[in-house]
Structure 1
Amino acid sequence: MGTVPTLYDGSSERRAPADQATVRRTNLGLVLRHLRDSGPRSRARIAQETGLNKATVSSLVAELAERRLVSTGDVDRAGSVGRPGLTVHLDGACVCGIGVELNVDYAAVLVLDLRGAVLHEQRRALDIPALGAERTLDAVAALVTDAVAVAAAAGARPAGLTVAVAGLVRSVDGVVTLAPNIGWRDVAVLDGLRARLGVDFPIRVENDANLSAIAEWAMGSEAGTPDLVYLTGEVGVGGGVVVAGRLLRGAGGLSGEVGHTSLGDPDRVCGCGRRGCWETVVGLAALLRGAADPGDPVHDPGRDLETRLAEVARRAEDGDARTLAALEQVGTSLGTGAAVLINVFNPRVVLLGGYFAVLGRFLMAPLLAELETRVLAPGMAGARVVLSTLGFTAAVRGGAHVALESVLDDPTLVPVAALAPAGAP
């Protein structure tokens, strides 16, 4: 993620040269990514900035236009020498990526086109632990079917679907090996959705915190920050770590389970079955347990989560002592764990997502006080703590972004308009 693919990998022992078609696909992707990352510019500027010659760029832009992935606009006078040319804009309204998130009490879907415009968004309250895997996948398939129909009505065909799940995900075959907060173990999400949807676009399954970190890196308020840590704030707590512009996955792709580090209450059992996990003191359940009695409406999973959090915020603003004490305790505990992450990864930014972002104004003071005490290097090692602006859409946005990567890798996946089947977008 976040890197422009190059034709050569620097190896001195190449077994076979790339054929002409591969070179063409790679260069099409290079131009398309450059427009996405750098904005509209003339063909001459594209050639200068990518190192391709002008004739090649003109040919590549013409093909991308035939595939409705770019369009031309106004005259580009910035940095031009001689006669200015028309700007080339990223278009891509004809193609989209679909992101889905499964969490304890909801499922969400979001559709992005290649320009980053939201074509469709829906969140449905679901008691996923009670429903079980099969009925949950039925519900997800229905959400995706509706999303595909909306996209088709807008003239966009899906490039792919990425499903975010809070837990250990074996992305190579789309199996959720363990998602303790929803009670899943060894659930074949990829195969289950393929069987239900019968679609021809690729489906992936990934950890929700990793996808959220990708979304923040690609389109959040701190987009492009090469070293960042993202913390989810849900019933469970996960972390996505970006180092030098690349997502840190670990040897088995299972990194990021920071909520299960031993920084919590040793007397409290976590959803994973162990005691003392960090999320026992900073997860949503910990906050609500401290802020309200069990019968209070803020505990009701049947109510929209953002409505429940708005009620917590209202009570805090009204000066409710119990609510404020619960928020302070969570903020302090959040700082304890975040300090460990800063000491280990030395990020430029720690992003707080989910409910941490929604209630961040109440959590920030105790969190920062704890960081000042526990981070070894002075000045919190140069790290800043920032509230995510993507809210609860981070995982689905990251999923949609990942789904679109196949088009950026190979733009020829999008058919030339004149060759598209009848009725196709």
Structure 2
Amino acid sequence: MLRHVSERGQCSRSAVAVETGLNKTTVTSLVGELQARGLLKEIGPQRAGSVGRPSRALTLDGSGVGALGLEVNVDYVAAFATDLAGRVLVDRRIGFDAMSAGTARSLDKLAQVIGKAVADLDRLGVALAGITVAVPGLVDAATGTVVVAPNLGWYRVSMVDRLVSAGISADVPITIDNDANLAALAEYTSGVAMGTSDLVYLAGEVGVGCGIIAGGRPFSGADGFAGEVGHVMVDPSGEPCGCGSTGCWETKVGLAALVRMAVPDHAYGTGRPLVRDPEERLAEIEQRRAEGDPRVDAAIAEVGRWLGRGTALLINLFNPRIVVLGGYFARLADRLIPVAQTELDRLGMTVVADRCGFVASTLGFGAASRGAVNVVIQRVLSDPTTIAIRHP
């Protein structure tokens, strides 16, 4: 019933009874329980143009229930929180060099960010329903373990156990998932591809992740590892990759590749002072372009070509309707898409490529943490009894 109201919007008890097939007595009982848990409220009166006494409308409440999504990536840690009805309560991104910090320091930083967000929610009188953390790597979601995150240098990291030992309450459900999978979910539920049942999301970060929505559902594969396209070899004689291989796709189109070609003096791993946030790196690249540095346009064109080549393979495999470009790809979409589309048209199967196009995400570098929030909210909608009764 809670899910029905969340999807339907404001509706009367009688409308819920008709649309769900529940009898009115059951609806009344469920409304009372959901109100006691602080998940549903009645507003009104509601008039629908009919005669007689106007009815009160049911709508999601959840103002006292919060969902927290986080992302730890090479350059930053992000936190995003909403209440059950989607009102934004926390939205921040902190520059952090996770690549150099190592596992222990990175998890300590993540725990600090979580602690601050939880304190913010406490001050607002919001109870936390759950936490989901997005990580750029292979994740065993069932055990909360990062199997491998090459760009972070993480191997077999039991994140849930580490976070609990760092002081995060064991009473709050914590889940871990791949960043691109969560970003694809965010695009499907609230982004530029909202409601598109078949899409591919490409995360433009230091690495490149791929999230897939197939038939309106996330496609994760047998072990949850589907979509690791960043480590598909595309150039055997190319650059070494953080995964240990050579010529992986992300060495051609990742943010590290763009920086290496456009501003080689500030490339990742050069030992020079790092610009901590990807937005700052992009601002530096744009500044170089404004100053007339020809390497910038050449680098963007090169990334665009390889982006189109890799995407041609993806559309042949998954036949999406839309390819959503996220992260830094979205910021440079006006220059990347024309080049990438040309390569896609040249290499993709014509009947497939003609029905698929690129679109730029509007969620920026926050897509994964927004998708992480959605996971928590969906868990509550699926089982409202996870929220304690607050008003007996």
2:319 to 346, 369, 394: 346
Instruction: Name the amino acid aligned to 2:340.
Output: L
1:289 to 260, 269, 286: 260
Instruction: Name the amino acid aligned to 2:336.
Output: L
Deviation at 1:330, TM superposition (A): 0.8
Separation in 2, partners of 1:406, 1:168: 22
Q: Alpha-carbon deviations, 1:208-258, whole Å to 9, x = none?
A: 111111111122122221111111000000101111111111111111101
1:389 match: secondary structure: coil
Instruction: Name the amino acid aligned to 1:149.
Output: A
Contact 2:96 2:277 in 1 (8 A): no
Q: Alpha-carbon deviations, 1:70-106, whole Å to 9, x = none?
A: 2222344448686542221111111111111111121
- Residue of structure 2 in register with 1:97 after alignment: 67
Instruction: Name the amino acid aligned to 2:304.
Output: G
Deviation at 1:167, TM superposition (A): 0.8
1:407 lines up with 2:380 in the alignment = yes
- Residue of structure 2 in register with 1:256 after alignment: 227
Separation in 2, partners of 1:80, 1:380: 50
2:349 to 361, 376, 396: 376
Q: Aligned in 2, Cα 1:226/1:39: closer, same or farther, shift over 3 Å?
A: same
Superposed CA RMSD in Å reads 2.2
Deviation at 1:381, TM superposition (A): 4.3
Percentage of matched positions with identical amino acids: 47
Contact 2:77 2:95 in 1 (8 A): yes
Matches within 5 A, 1:302-341: 302-316=275-289, 320-341=293-314
Deviation at 1:133, TM superposition (A): 1.0
1:353 match: secondary structure: strand
- Residue of structure 2 in register with 1:51 after alignment: 21
Q: Aligned in 2, Cα 1:49/1:79: closer, same or farther, shift over 3 Å?
A: farther
Deviation at 1:314, TM superposition (A): 4.8
Contact 1:174 1:204 in 2 (8 A): yes
Q: Alpha-carbon deviations, 1:99-150, whole Å to 9, x = none?
A: 1111112111111211112111222222112221111111111111111111
Instruction: Name the amino acid aligned to 2:239.
Output: R
Instruction: Name the amino acid aligned to 2:175.
Output: R
Separation in 2, partners of 1:71, 1:401: 21
| Number of residues of Structure 1 aligned to a counterpart in Structure 2 | 389
Contact 1:264 1:280 in 2 (8 A): no
- Residue of structure 2 in register with 1:239 after alignment: 210
- Residue of structure 2 in register with 1:72 after alignment: 42
1:417 match: secondary structure: coil
Separation in 2, partners of 1:80, 1:173: 53
Separation in 2, partners of 1:233, 1:295: 18
Instruction: Name the amino acid aligned to 2:143.
Output: D
1:99 match: secondary structure: strand
- Unaligned runs of 5+ residues in structure 1 are 1-30, 420-425
- Residue of structure 1 in register with 2:182 after alignment: 211
- Residue of structure 2 in register with 1:36 after alignment: 6
Contact 2:182 2:372 in 1 (8 A): yes
Deviation at 1:261, TM superposition (A): 1.2
Instruction: Name the amino acid aligned to 1:258.
Output: V
Contact 2:145 2:157 in 1 (8 A): yes
Deviates more, 1:238-247 or 1:120-129: 120-129
1:151 lines up with 2:121 in the alignment = yes
Contact 1:313 1:359 in 2 (8 A): no
Deviation at 1:396, TM superposition (A): 0.8
Deviates more, 1:396-405 or 1:237-246: 396-405
Q: Aligned in 2, Cα 1:82/1:321: closer, same or farther, shift over 3 Å?
A: farther
Instruction: Name the amino acid aligned to 2:243.
Output: C
Contact 1:112 1:401 in 2 (8 A): no
Contact 1:126 1:302 in 2 (8 A): no
Contact 1:112 1:397 in 2 (8 A): no
2:362 to 363, 367, 389: 389
1:163 to 130, 133, 147: 133
Deviates more, 1:351-360 or 1:115-124: 115-124
Separation in 1, partners of 2:324, 2:311: 10
Deviation at 1:318, TM superposition (A): 6.8
1:164 match: secondary structure: strand
1:57 match: secondary structure: helix
Separation in 1, partners of 2:31, 2:275: 50
Q: Aligned in 2, Cα 1:242/1:120: closer, same or farther, shift over 3 Å?
A: same
Q: Alpha-carbon deviations, 1:323-351, whole Å to 9, x = none?
A: 11111111111111111111111111111
Separation in 1, partners of 2:97, 2:280: 16
